[in-house]
Structure 1
């Protein structure tokens, strides 16, 4: 498989098997985005969409932020997808990866604290 320098978006309910190269799949129903790694290694990259994690924007071109750091894949690729274009960055070091994971956990915890479960119960009038 060859490297990808550009992605197009495909909005889906769930991801197909197998994923196709150069397509960023976005599932609003499951709040996820998925694609094959831009380096061409064939690794699947799945990102959970939320205010505390990744976000997509679409204005005719798809953007995914923050960057994709495929630290779980052997390629260790690191890139942004901005208006469909792959913007390559240096791979993250182990220290940078650890710091990013800590920052991600902190952002998720902060987001959860800002929206307590009781608030969601009142909003949807559901018993959990």
Structure 2
């Protein structure tokens, strides 16, 4: 993968490799993501992190993430309850955080490349 910007975060609890992290309560801390509405950082690198350890997370460029469901190349990615990437599909009037876009098709438990581009995706109410 080709990371352009990688930052290290202290983990509140262990986060396995390729799972999605969210911002923790302290500055530059991370914890496992549990919902699409979390303030997502991105996927933890290939080494993962133990409790109180450091996790490398790509903020821009190419990285890899473990899937929690089926995605297609180009789908925006968010977190499920298990810190895995799923297609972002906000309900009407909802805004969800995304970590970027899938760069490959994949199914649950696959590790795929993604273009790291954290942001938010909204679906205006009808």
Instruction: With the length of structure 2 as denominator, give the TM-score of the two structures.
Output: 0.28
Structure (1/2) with the larger helix percentage: 1
**With CA pairs under 8 Å and 6+ residues apart, which has the higher RCO, 1 or 2?**
2
TM-score for both structures, normalised by structure 1: 0.28
Which is strand-richer, 1 or 2? 2
